[in-house]
Amino acid sequence: AVSQVTVRDALNQALDEELERDERVFLLGEEVAQYDGAYKISRGLWKKYGDKRVIDTPISEMGFAGIAVGAAMVWLRPVCEFMTFNFSMQAIDQVINSAAKTYYMSAGSIAVPIVFRGPNGAAAGVGAQHSQCFAAWYGHCPGLKVVSPWSSEDAKGLLKASIRDDNPVVMLESELLYSVPFEMSDQAQSKEFVIPIGKAKIERQGTHITLVSHSRSVGHCVEAAAVLSKEGVECEVVNLRTIRPMDIETVEASVVKTNHLVTVEGGWPQFGVGAEICARIMEGPAFNYLDAPAVRVTGADVPMPYAKILEDNCIPQVKDIVFAVKKALNI
């Protein structure tokens, strides 16, 4: 059986199940407890688990991220919510220097099992300071794992895997997907459902061109594939799910099949996720199978404008993906 579940409810389900499963798991951040979460991701959890497990913090990312990292070092399993990842910049020293590097610098004697999670990338009409995608930033750093879910199944399976992982994991969600319902199977809704970190998923089989994407852009790729299918072009859509470690093998296998590649992301072009995919493909065995240069579809290389029409022009839309596919296929 299959039911419709929003990304918000999938995340809530995952948190509830993991809090219940392991008493070392706790959630902290701004508004996560009494208010039920700024985006209602933690709805009902404070009432159910109480003050020790779901903790409202002062507005100090550096402070509560530091508390969370310290707790993880003594083998608790904190889930640290940033109200948006733009605010994780306040705590970047904790995330990179305290969380990501400690396992290596302690020669494997101090693990830091922590999850930093919250909305990432552009929402709607929140201006330049609240519209950045941090996938490339965090994906750049060894010692972190970075996941970027699209569907409800992604969100639930990746959050559960992240909480159970003994390493620091950055989970980049999309605020604009929270209310979107996706089909979820009974299996995906079971308590033991986890998605392995580092494995991409093929969302749509195709033979003419490979579209690789993560987070909200996956939905745009699926839509573009439906439009192009009417014109006789069959796109294979790869949902990365994980940014680091990146599942380049799945992308390579797809490129070997289709001989064409387009990457799609909401982040900036320079040193972006798509740039990394293109470089890895060029360096690897799939390069000889490419019949045309790979094409990147990205956010515009500007701070995000506030005006809606300008914002729409800065975020990759379905028409931009269709245009890129036709360019790559020379049609």
Q: Using one digit for the tens of pLDDT, what is the confidence trace for 18-73? A: 999 999 999 999 999 999 999 999 999 999 999 999 999 999 999 999 999 999 99
Please give the distance of CA 3 from its chain centroid, rounded to a whole number.
Answer: 23
Question: What is the C-alpha to C-alpha distance for residues 233 and 217, in angstroms, rounded to an integer?
Answer: 19
Give per-residue burial for 51-77: e unless 16+ CB within 10 Å, then b.
eebbbebeeebeebbbbbbebbbeebb
The rounded distance, in Å, linking the Cα atoms of 84 and 90 is: 11
Residue ranges and CATH numbers for the domains of the chain are 4-189 (3.40.50.970), 201-329 (3.40.50.920)
Q: What is the pLDDT of residue 139?
A: 98
Residue from 31, 130, 140, 223 carrying the catalytic annotation:
130
Sign of the four-CA dihedral 242, 247, 248, 251: negative
The kind and range of the H/E element at 182 are: strand 181-185
The pLDDT of residue 249: 98
Length in residues, the chain: 331
> At what angle are helices 248-258 and 273-283 packed, to 10 degrees?
70
3 state SS of 91: helix
Based on the residue annotation, tell me whether 17 is a catalytic residue of this protein: no
Distance of alpha carbon 324 from alpha carbon 220, whole angstroms: 13
Threshold 0.85, pTM exceeds: yes
**104: its two tokens:** 């290596």
CB proximity list for 277: less than 8 A, separation 6 or greater: 212, 246, 248, 251, 261, 263, 294
| pLDDT attached to residue 1 | 85
Write out residues in the chain with pLDDT < 70, as ranges: none
Helices vs strands, H then E, count in the chain: 12, 14
Q: DSSP states of 266-302 as a string?
A: SS-STT-HHHHHHHHHHHSGGGGG-SS--EEE---SS
Q: Cα(first)–Cα(last) distance of the chain, in Å?
A: 41
- Residue of 17, 18, 30, 61 with catalytic role: 61
Residue 61 designated active-site: yes
